[in-house]
A and B are shown apart, each in its own frame.
Chain A
Amino acid sequence: MSHLPFAVAGWLFLVALYAIVTSRNLIQMIVCLAVMQSSTYLLILSVGYRTGGVAPIFVQSEAPPGTPAVDPVGHALVLTDIVVGATVMALLLALAVQVHKRRGTLDPHALRPMHD
């Protein structure tokens, strides 16, 4: 059982990969990419987790420096990527909006190479 969170991260990644490849809708594809991204968050956070560890915030009265804590580096990586990932997702959605405007469809299978 001690490897379950890692296995969930791997499963999320593969499920999202399958969904992206078989997706028939660009919006759904973008959401699947978000699911795939969150699998990496789950992996990084669970690798850095320590049983009984506190959050890496050290206040003298509550948890003085030296209290066993979880890995702060993973937290730093994940928190920046959640916010940056949200804007990148918005950029992808903007691309989907433009595709729908020009081609009238969101189905990636219906998109053909441009002629002119």
Chain B
Amino acid sequence: MSTRLRLFVLWVGAVGLGLLIAIAIWRLPGFGHYPGPYGDMLNSLAPYERQVTNVVTAINFDYRALDTLGEEFILFAAVSGLVLLLRGKRGESAGEPPNPPDERALVPRSDALRWASLGFIAVINLFGSYMVLHGHLTPGGGFQGGAILGIASILVYVAFDYRSYRKTTPKEWIEVVEAIGAGSYALVGLGAIFAGGAFLQNVLPLGERGHLFSGGTIPLINFAVGLEVAAGFALLFLEFLEETRTPKPEDIES
């Protein structure tokens, strides 16, 4: 398709779509006037029905837990696909440092960078764990906390070098943790069936609102998602970093 034809098709479609968007916006209630009713019902029911303070987490991991299970498997599939695409014919040895790209020399890390990253590793690990564990109480949850924890792994590379990064982020273990995270979400759902409920029904005692152990299965699922997301992100960084390493002849299969 030529560029001119491509642009013509785009303009016809975009003008039509723009008109439809304008009409749709015209008929929406004004900004700041949320009409409800579902959000309002959940806001007034969830704190009593599920004994959690964070209603968003209650929706994600209880009321619409089946949807979130699907979302989590999208994440799992995306990470698996990435590993499949990138690892391919590349070697897997952990000892070799990555080759610097052809034109650039490997710059030694400055002391400022080392110390700042070293300080951040502890803070980020702590903050990420707090986010995951208190997902049903305060803003946060497994998805957000997991993403923060995933960052902590790459900071070891920023602070030290490739070898220490590979030592603190062992690929085999991360893959296992990711699978455990994805699997235990589904297992919590299956457990509810064995306890006599429906799939992913909240069958555990709900506890008292505002306490760490409250909300029944919500913190459990939250933790599973946290593991999955943290391991998934760590694996993403690992695979992209591995791309900079030129494979040795004996690493290449076939």
Footprint of B on A, CB under 8 Å? 2-7, 10, 13-14, 17-18, 21-22, 46-51, 53, 55-60, 65-66, 69-76, 79-84, 86-88, 90-91, 93-95, 97-98, 109
Contacts and interface: CB of A to CB of B under 8 A. Distances in A.
A14 B14 contact: yes
A74 B40 CA distance: 12
A69 to B, nearest CB: 5
A21 B7 contact: yes
Contacts of B54: 56-57
A80 B14 contact: no
A109 B7 CA distance: 14
Nearest to A82: B143
Contacts of B100: none
Nearest to B74: A84
Given A3-B25, A14-B17, A22-B10, 16 more contacts: A2-B31, A6-B25, A7-B22, A22-B6, A46-B31, A57-B56, A58-B43, A59-B53, A71-B40, A76-B60, A76-B64, A79-B144, A84-B75, A90-B82, A91-B81, A93-B240
A8 B32 CA distance: 15
Contact of B48 (A10, A65, A90): A65
| Range of interface residues on B (Cβ < 8 Å) | 35 or more
Contact of B79 (A18, A48, A56, A87): A87
A76 B59 contact: yes
Given A2-B32, A57-B139, A59-B53, A72 B71 contact: no
B30 interface: yes
A78 B134 CA distance: 19
**Chain A: interface secondary structure?**
helix
Interface of B: 3, 6-7, 10, 14, 17-18, 21-22, 25-26, 28, 30-34, 36, 38-40, 42-44, 46-48, 53-56, 59-60, 64, 68, 71-72, 74-75, 78-79, 81-82, 85-86, 88, 138-139, 141, 143-144, 146-147, 209-210, 229, 232-233, 236, 239-240, 243
B55 A7 contact: no
Contact of B10 (A21, A97, A109): A21
A70 B31 CA distance: 12
A83 B146 contact: yes
A54 B79 CA distance: 35
Nearest to B29: A47
A17 B10 contact: yes
